[in-house]
Structure 1
């Protein structure tokens, strides 16, 4: 298993340009994000739609995608039958007991809790082109969180660090969302090549925490590179998918498909440093094998449990990718013209 962060200077790692104005001076937003940067995503997030009804091109629609549960019905009252009532609403047990026809009245449940799980472990602190995987994951989490809040649903989250988890149950208020984003920004800022070595949090631990919070009828987004798959990950994920709508959001770097044969850099586990040289055939083959095994596990979950996949690349901007995955037009102007 490879858990490493490249020790080259940040600029040479990603070839990045001038930092955005929303991030503290001297900090490149494609290497680290702060709270201001994440909060600035609220406006763009309003172009996203995560409602149960999805466009035909959405990754959430189609044969291999789970059908998102719509908002359900809450029982409101049991009352006498009125001539305008639907006879299908008659409660025959109560009618038989009282001798008078009674109906059950329901109101639409306007709440669908959303739980966003976002990985900020050291394995995510890697990038060869546009941004670090950790940045792409953080931006995706913030965009989805704001989109959910604006559609008046509850949103909560779990921030995964190597040292443990921060968990917040879904709530429908801005204060709770700010706490989640603050924790996310802090976790992202703590990622650096000189961080002390720690055993990474296993996916089993993450999924068990999710299961404790989202027992049923949640929309769960798992944004991660899915490193450190545990012995019970399959069972836990199957249980979550049985009672909730789960979406896997694997975040990868463009180098993940095929590690380049001329990649040379220093790597570190926080205490020790070594040279990663993919010109060595054995190293190159081992890294590609590890990547293939991880992809195979994700594909198995997709096929076996019918869990939709929404892959993100750290080699591109985050918002356009999310819009494509949700089957939305490339721009707000296209949406207005009815191209959906």
Structure 2
């Protein structure tokens, strides 16, 4: 565990007060648009949220104006009169927030570490869901463990999720070696698949390092009966590698300092970093899971607000 001073800086390590403060800052944000769009996933994201599910209410006589798609043909034929099935909208639905706190997230060249940006986005998603009246839970995973928070509609449950995020975030350290469990992202998705039945909203917040064909398959399975949003956290250096200076590359206890002004270093490293972003974007395109991208160099809340606001301008 890091010192309280280091842990509370909000840039290298997240703090619980920092995440809880988003309760008020997230007000007015919604994954469901109020007017022209049906959801944050419309338009450019080429997908739509299902919204809350419908639950069967009663079987009753047909009345003029009823939706003919709700005709119950079996009952109508049995009684010789048209019957319709009426439905009511469910008051809430479960939201699962999956937050990546692996060692691959313990990096940042500007403003935040990726792990802190992911922590902030996890808290924002939780508060937005709770303020919409939905149940909130999630999974927080590091290199060696996964913590589960069962969805409930309560402020204390959001606090439990944020506490889990901070606990795993504070366990990260530059001296921590890489785990042997390279498939922790896939394992988290498998666990989510076993927890989520139908009509869940699932927010996956990660850098999507160490993906595989199995990752694609799991995303497709989750998408079949649920709404899934992928939030990829990246560092600006992946898009614009500096032309001069030195870059420290770490892999657990191994550290290598590279002179990025050397062409034989700069070109392949830049191609690798940008290629990783393209690879994830292509995987998510194939899975039909909408992708939202968040830079560690900018404010997390403002980026999310911009994503939601930009889509509100797209015509139906």
TM-score normalised by structure 1 residue count? 0.80
Match of 1:223 in 2: 205
Equivalent residue for 1:274, pick from 249, 256, 276: 256
Choose the corresponding residue for 2:29, options 48, 51, 54.
48
Deviation at 1:319, TM superposition (A): 0.7
Match of 1:195 in 2: 176
CA contact (8 A) 2:247 2:260 kept: no
Q: Call closer, same or farther: CA 1:169–1:263 in 2, change over 3 Å.
A: farther
Q: Which residue in 2 is equivalent to 1:35?
A: 16
Which whole-Å CA distance do the structure 2 matches of 1:53 and 1:200 have between them?
A: 42
1:288 partnered with 2:263: no
Aligned twin of 2:93? 112
Match of 2:43, SS state, is coil
Structure 2: how far apart are the matches of 1:59 and 1:32?
A: 29
**CA distance in structure 1 between the partners assigned to 2:67 and 2:201 by the alignment:** 33
Q: Helix, strand or coil for the counterpart of 2:231?
A: strand
Q: By how many angstroms is 1:189 displaced?
A: 1.1
**Structure 2 partner of 1:325:** 307
Number of equivalent positions: 306
Distance, in Å, in 1 between the alignment partners of 2:282 and 2:93 is 27
Q: Residues 265 and 105 of structure 1: is their aligned pair in 2 closer, same or farther, counting only changes over 3 Å?
A: closer
2:136, 2:153 within 8 Å by CA — same for their partners in 1?
yes
SS of corresponding position for 1:276: strand
- What residue in structure 2 maps to residue 310 of structure 1? 292
CA contact (8 A) 1:56 1:327 kept: no
Return 5+ residue gaps in structure 1 as ranges: 1-22, 330-340
Counterpart of 2:74? 93
Higher helix share: 2
1:274-308 alpha-carbon deviations (Å, 9 max, x no partner): 32332343333332232233222222134334332
Question: What's the RMSD between the two structures over aligned residues?
Answer: 2.8
Q: State the partner residue of 1:78.
A: 59
Check if 1:253 corresponds to 2:253: no
Alpha-carbon separation, structure 1, partners of 2:82 and 2:115: 60
Given that 2:249 and 2:257 are in contact with CA atoms closer than 8 Å, whether structure 1 keeps it comes out as: yes
Seen in structure 2, the aligned counterparts of structure 1 residues 283 and 210 have a Cα distance that, compared at 3 Å, is farther
Per-residue Cα deviation, 1:21-52 (whole angstroms, up to 9, x for no partner):
xx954531111111121111110011311226
Asked if the contact 1:226/1:250 (under 8 Å) is kept, the reply is: yes
Deviation >6 Å, runs of 4+:
none
SS of residue in 2 equivalent to 1:327: helix
Q: Which moved more, 1:314-323 or 1:101-110?
A: 101-110
Structure 2: distance between partners of 1:24 and 1:55: 46
Greater Cα offset, 257-266 or 64-73: 257-266
Whole-angstrom distance in 2 between the partners of 1:283 and 1:57: 46
- Cα distance, 1:248 vs structure 2: 1.5
1:166 aligns with 2:147: yes
- Distance change >3 Å, CA 64–CA 131, structure 1 → 2: closer
How far the C-alpha of 1:169 sits from its partner, in A, is: 3.3
Deviation at 1:57, TM superposition (A): 12
Deviation at 1:214, TM superposition (A): 2.1
| Shift of residue 56, structure 1, vs aligned partner | 5.5
Matched, 1:138 2:119: yes
